[in-house]
Amino acid sequence: MDLLNTLVDKGLRRELPTRAEALAVLATSDDDLLDVVAAAGKVRRHWFGRRVKLNYLVNLKSGLCPEDCSYCSQRLGSKADILKYTWLKPDDASKAAAAGVAGGAKRVCLVASGRGPTDRDVDRVAGTIKAIKDQNEGVEVCACLGLLSDGQADRLREAGADAYNHNLNTSESTYGDITTTHTYADRVDTVQKAHAAGLSACSGLIAGMGETDEDLVDVVFSLRDLDPDSVPVNFLIPMEGTPLAQEWHLTPQRCLRILAMVRFVCPDVEVRIAGGREVHLRTMQPLALNLANSIFLGDYLTSEGQAGHTDLEMIADAGFEVEGAGEVTLPEHRAAVATGGCGSHESAGCGSHEGAGCGSTEGAGCGGHEGAGVCGSSAPATSTSAPVPQVDEVRRDLVSVRRRGAGTDLAPNA
């Protein structure tokens, strides 16, 4: 198909597809799905070989969040029966992290519920970062603490954090339908603060919240414009007790098309399959490794994931290999910038943009629903949205609340 040949050529050159091309990927038929996966797989293998990076989540503080994000089981007013606890002590967090590292994870993601950290919270997390790095040589640490105030990203970098995650989740035009207690611009600002402090920016999206194809393309183009080093792709886990508990619109085929579109738009970034892969990709998870080069190992923040050993078996059986601690994840042109800071984004150093750096962005990561222009020329949006797929059988049995690991006396899943 001419579309796929064009997208592969653009991906190998780090050239931005047009909006029409990105929308066309989402509108492909199931008959063409394997061709789409094979094409996006060529781009993935060109930049990342057959390596799969493992990441491990540690939920430092669970529940009781004052924000009203509709997708979140920790939100204000949530009736989800999740674990609720205050800050883990540094040693407890380090022990939880060690389980993931022992399972093959090279990055530990420290997450805390809440609008954003106080300065005291930053001090607390700084102690946790030190404990983890002292006890796990060579591990990367990514913090995810919500909206950052001035100076906090610098303090996290000084404490030893390597990266900061703040997902922008959906398009700017629909953001107010999902969250009202903060704005899309607030999220963009935090990604920019992290990037300006020299942290590796990590920002992604959540699919399956009732968005259109245009919304998905908007957020991914905005991510491209912000230029993070890693883009987590979450598939909504419809948790009972949250406003989106009935949003069961994803199929494995739809998820694969979304991942392929993300890979074509962000060809040389770490695309990570995040929450919901077990629920929505199900038995087609191994096929998704041809599109993404990174996954979370084991459990998520408030829900259980696939058994850690099953993740490792899946990677091996699919013909991929776990990325070693000594291997550099990013392609050379990105890795040099990630370790030295992006500065003014001069030359072609900061990522996936063709030509001179990051276009019109403010030097902030790769994540956002900013919708404020993209690098390169793009065609106007067209109404090519495929109908929202109807799921005949809702698999609520695949959603399990986490009852082990951080915040419990039970061993973690890693």
pLDDT digits (tens, 9 = 90+) for 266-286: 999 999 999 999 999 999 999
Confidence of residue 217 (pLDDT cuts 50, 70, 90): very high
Kindly list the domain boundaries of the chain, sorted by start residue.
Answer: 2-372
How much is the pLDDT for 376? 30
CATH tag for 2-372 (out of 3.20.20.70, 3.40.50.11140, 3.30.70.360, 3.40.50.300): 3.20.20.70
Determine which one of 72, 144, 342, 358 is catalytic: 72
How much is the pLDDT for 392? 54
Mean of per-residue pLDDT scores for the chain: 88
Question: Is the confidence at residue 343, as pLDDT, over 60?
Answer: no
Determine which one of 202, 266, 350, 375 is catalytic: 202
Question: Is the confidence at residue 378, as pLDDT, over 60?
Answer: no
Query: Is 69 a catalytic site residue?
Result: yes
How much is the pLDDT for 348? 32
Task: Summarize pLDDT for 282-314 with one digit per residue, the tens.
Answer: 999 999 999 999 999 999 999 999 999 999 999
Query: Is 375 a catalytic site residue?
Result: no
Confidence of residue 351 (pLDDT cuts 50, 70, 90): very low
Please state, in angstroms and rounded to a whole number, the distance separating the CA atoms of residues 70 and 274: 18
Contact (CB, 8 A) for 109 and 56: yes
Lowest mean pLDDT among 24-33, 145-154, 294-303, 344-353: 344-353
Q: Give how far Cα 68 sits from Cα of 27, 75, 183, 232, 392, Å.
A: 32, 5, 11, 21, 30
How much is the pLDDT for 335? 87
Determine which one of 65, 266, 358, 366 is catalytic: 65
Kindly state the percentage of the chain with pLDDT values over 90: 82
Residue with tokens 């776990």: 322
Query: Is 65 a catalytic site residue?
Result: yes
In terms of Cα–Cα distance, which of 154, 161, 156, 105 is closest to 133? 161
How much is the pLDDT for 1? 79
Determine which one of 19, 187, 254, 272 is catalytic: 272
How much is the pLDDT for 362? 29
Determine which one of 44, 142, 187, 366 is catalytic: 142
How much is the pLDDT for 64? 86
Question: Is the confidence at residue 355, as pLDDT, over 60?
Answer: no
How much is the pLDDT for 252? 98
Segment 238-263 mean pLDDT = 96
Segment 58-85 mean pLDDT = 93
Segment 351-370 mean pLDDT = 30
How much is the pLDDT for 382? 37
Determine which one of 14, 19, 51, 109 is catalytic: 109
Lowest mean pLDDT among 34-43, 250-259, 312-321, 329-338: 329-338
Determine which one of 51, 69, 107, 277 is catalytic: 69
Question: Is the confidence at residue 95, as pLDDT, over 50?
Answer: yes
Based on DSSP, count helices (H) and strands (E) in the chain, helices before strands. Answer: 14, 10
Task: Summarize pLDDT for 107-158 with one digit per residue, the tens.
Answer: 999 999 999 999 999 999 999 999 999 999 899 999 999 999 999 999 999 9
SS3 category, 182:
coil
- Could you tell me the pTM of the whole model? 0.87
Q: Give how far Cα 194 sits from Cα of 153, 156, 198, 313, 329, Å.
A: 5, 9, 7, 35, 19
SS3 category, 61:
strand
Residue with tokens 């959540």: 206
Segment 230-249 mean pLDDT = 95
